[in-house]
Amino acid sequence: MNSTSDSRPTATIEALPHHLRRGGTSAVLDLLPDRFLVVRHWGEDLGDLGDAALTDLRTAQTMSTETNRTWTASDLPVLPLPHLGWSARPALLLHRQDGSVFSAHVDSVSHEVTMDEGPGGAADVVVSRGVDAVHGIDVVTEIRLEPTGLVRVRARVADVAEEGASPLEVDEVTLLLPVPSDAVELLDMTGHHGFERRLVRTPFAPGPDYVSPGRAAPDTTPPLGSSRVHPASAGVAVASTACTWPGPAIPASWRPARLRDTGS
């Protein structure tokens, strides 16, 4: 359904994206005032990029929804929320026990870019803090580019409501990273009950794909990944994720019918 009059927020973009480079990996991040950070690129090192190249990268990675923003929106952050047009599986699923809160509306976000020195070298850290003042919810996302080139993403949710408010229950927090549009397959492995740890390759078809939920542990199956073929070298590049949360986790991917692909 098309909408000719839509009040959904549109990101105001002023500053250039931040280009972080460590260990052969590039991460290009947009820091917008009304949402958590937007990942334009994470993967192979893009080299030295000037202002014009960063602007072009942002333009190329921005979805065009024209007047239809009723089901998705451009500039989706690592933690997309319903008021931005995210209509797939909730990225932040929570509620208060008395039913007074069932959807967070974080519309004011501050960002901080720092460098963390460690024994293995320096890591780039971007922390985004968002507040839902109406419902008393504080949300923080953090992305780190380690010296080795590993990209780490995590989130925290805090109850900052006034005393006497009903307890807040957080059911799910799902962080998402974009996948290249030329990704053609999903790469997974079988479980431990039969044909253990055998590679399973399936087409990256439109729609969601969820791995059976389970508790993260050393003996669990490897993480979900997506692969794409490089025609020039006939090689294959694989982008893979691993969940280090000790509780139940659901690796997932989601590919819209025509717009930008997203994985988590």
Residues 194 and 104 grouped into a single domain: no
Round to whole Å and give the CA distance between 30 and 20.
Answer: 11
Report the number of distinct structural domains present in the chain.
2
Round to whole Å and give the CA distance between 197 and 220.
Answer: 10
Burial of 186 (0-12, 13-18, 19+ CB in 10 A): buried
Phi, psi of 57 (to 5 degrees): -65, -45
Residues 98 and 129 grouped into a single domain: yes
Residues 225 and 157 grouped into a single domain: no
Residues 103 and 210 grouped into a single domain: no
Residues 224 and 94 grouped into a single domain: no
Residues 40 and 94 grouped into a single domain: yes
Taking 70 as the threshold, does the pLDDT of residue 19 lie above it?
A: yes
Identify the residue with better confidence: 257 or 231. 257
Round to whole Å and give the CA distance between 242 and 69.
Answer: 31
Residues 151 and 45 grouped into a single domain: yes
Domain range spanning residue 193?
A: 183-233
Dihedral, CA atoms, 254, 202, 29, 133, nearest 10 degrees? 30
10, part of any domain: no
Q: What is the pLDDT of residues 130-171, one digit of tens each?
A: 999 989 999 999 999 999 999 999 999 999 998 989 999 998
Tokens of residue 243, six digits: 């969940």
Q: What does each C-alpha distance from 221 to 149, 193, 200 come to in angstroms?
A: 23, 11, 12
Residues 84 and 32 grouped into a single domain: yes
Lowest mean pLDDT: which of 10-24, 34-48, 54-68, 220-234? 220-234
Q: What is the pLDDT of residues 168-215, one digit of tens each?
A: 999 889 898 888 777 777 777 766 566 666 777 778 777 766 665 555
Residues 153 and 190 grouped into a single domain: no
Boundary-marking domain end, from 134, 150, 173: 173
Round to whole Å and give the CA distance between 72 and 84.
Answer: 7
Entry pTM: 0.78
Residues 167 and 216 grouped into a single domain: no
240, part of any domain: no
The Cβ-side half-sphere exposure at 194, using a 13 Å CA radius, reads 0
Residues 54 and 95 grouped into a single domain: yes
